[in-house]
Amino acid sequence: MANKKQDLGADELSECVQDFYQNLSDRLMSHFKGSSESVERVMDQVEKYIMTRLYKSVFCPETTDDENKDLATQHRIRALHWVTIEMLCVSMDEEIPEVSDNVVKAITGQFLACITQCSKHIFSAIKITKKEPASADDFLPALIYVVLKANPPRLQSNIQYITRFCNPSRLMTGEDGYYFTNLCCAVAFIEKLDAQSLNLSTEEFERYMSGQASPRRPTDEGGWPLEAGATPQDPGATGTTAATMNPVLAQLHHNLELLSGLSARQDRLTEAARALQEELVSWEEGVRREVQDILERYPLEVRPPPTSAIDTENAESDRLPPPLTPQVFAG
């Protein structure tokens, strides 16, 4: 049976998993006697287990064109990098620091790993801007803007994986299902986005898409976007103010500050190392001079060792008998 399951395509495997969810849910409803909360808790744990175990085997399978869709979507989003927040009529003011922080968190966070958390950052940014709770009409344009700026990898593969193997009751109801549905709508909008969607002429849209032009704001002498209503001559039109207007510029500004700090620290370490090297050379020269002075003041004299006879150290040599005299006997 296991071998037959491995031969099935992604859609057939999805049907098997969905049937399993439905059958298990029906049995749990009978077991818990209609307690939907208990059934939901069990089903959540079962779903996590199944999706974790199936991930390596069925995520972006070769039998589908998920990978080609990923590349097409990623290329499409890169081509739309010029889309501004004003073009999408997003109800967020990125000049407000708290709004900018929430947008940066939504863009730079693990977008697909926690769609719900990213969506809450978006709702928070809209609420701060409007000073009232955000509506569904406000949320979708903001989500489209965040997807365009984040360009999460394997977007289509993740959407298809969740659609095929997630518990359908969870996708159709609840907070998670609402955010996932809006994400699917945002991706569909991006795929079909045209000049009319952004209130642009066809010529402007084509020039932006081809890279021949870019809807940039007026800039100061340093090339930084100016604050709304400012001119290049205004003293307040600085790069620091511009960095708070766009989450990407804010992140870039933050990274530049970190790099500047690291560069200064490296300069201090290099200077300290150079000073230490000079001290070691000076110390070595000082030791060499001191040793030379001592050698000149107290020159070494190498004296030959004293010579002595073999029996010199023998104090009793005077008491020894004389040596024997050889005698010759006649034959």
Vertex 254 angle, CA 250 and 256, to 5°: 115
187 close to 104: Cβ distance less than 8 angstroms: no
Helices (H), the chain: 2-7, 10-31, 36-58, 66-79, 97-108, 115-130, 136-150, 155-165, 168-172, 174-192, 202-210, 239-243, 247-297
Nearest to 46 by CA among 207, 128, 219, 166: 166
Q: Report the alpha-carbon distance of residue 151 to residue 70 in Å, rounded.
A: 11
Rounded-to-integer distance, Cα 176 and Cα 289, Å? 79
The total of other beta-carbon atoms located within 10 Å of residue 53's CB is 10
| Number of Cβ within a 10 Å radius of residue 109 | 16
What is the separation, in whole angstroms, between the first and last Cα of the chain? 124
* Distance from C-alpha of 161 to C-alpha of 156, rounded to nearest angstrom: 8
For each of the chain's 331 residues, which pLDDT tens digit applies?
444 555 677 888 888 888 988 888 888 888 777 677 888 888 888 888 888 888 888 888 887 888 899 899 999 999 898 998 889 988 888 888 888 888 888 877 655 557 888 888 899 999 999 888 888 889 999 999 999 988 888 888 888 888 888 888 877 878 888 888 999 999 999 999 999 988 889 998 998 888 888 776 544 444 444 444 444 444 444 444 444 445 566 667 777 888 888 888 888 899 999 999 999 999 999 888 888 888 888 877 777 776 665 555 555 666 677 777 777 776 5
Beta bridge partners of 133: none
| pLDDT (0 to 100) of residue 113 | 57
* C-beta of residue 148 within 8 angstroms of C-beta of residue 198: no
What one-letter code names the amino acid at 294?
Answer: I
The pTM assigned to this predicted structure is 0.60
Residues sharing a CB contact under 8 Å with residue 250, sequence separation 6 or more, in sequence order: 100, 104, 243, 244
